[in-house]
Amino acid sequence: MAENPLLVRRNWGAIAEAGLALAAASAATRLLPFKRYIRLGARPLERVSRAGGIETARIVDALGRRAPFRSVCLQRGIALQWMLRRRGIDAILHYGVRMPREGKAITAHVWVSVDGSVILGAPQHEQYSEVARYPAG
């Protein structure tokens, strides 16, 4: 069984950063238009790192589940992408939709990948069709 990333002392700096990033993403999704807040995490890379970001994804996900504010896949994805791209990791935020069954609403989901591997939002992402990715390309 994997240890809880929130209990590991070496992660405390990343935990604090994740808390701030999640709070900022939550506020941004409430206050800014979609085109503005979706680009927050897609910042340009200043340097390129080959680190995977899986531990950071676990921290963001664990903290996001415990946050006292709105932190669903959208906020978690933006926060994680921002944190990883700040570290030089080419994190891609994917935005997908699932068509409803009769009488149901369209649902959306966000996931984050690095080097083609989904590190946040799996395995649910398999049920959605990607409609956009940030940064595009």
Look up the pTM and report it.
0.86
Question: Between 63 and 2, where is the model more confident?
Answer: 63
Q: What is the pLDDT of residue 2?
A: 62
User: Taking 80 as the threshold, does the pLDDT of residue 91 lie above it?
Assistant: yes
Helix axes 54-66, 12-31, angle to 10 degrees: 60
d(CA 117, CA 133) in angstroms, rounded, equals 14
Domain positions in the chain are 5-134
What is the predicted pLDDT for the residue at 104? 83
Is a pLDDT exceeding 90 seen at residue 49? no
Note the pLDDT tens digit of each residue in 121-137: 999 999 999 999 999 86
CA distance 69 to 65: 10
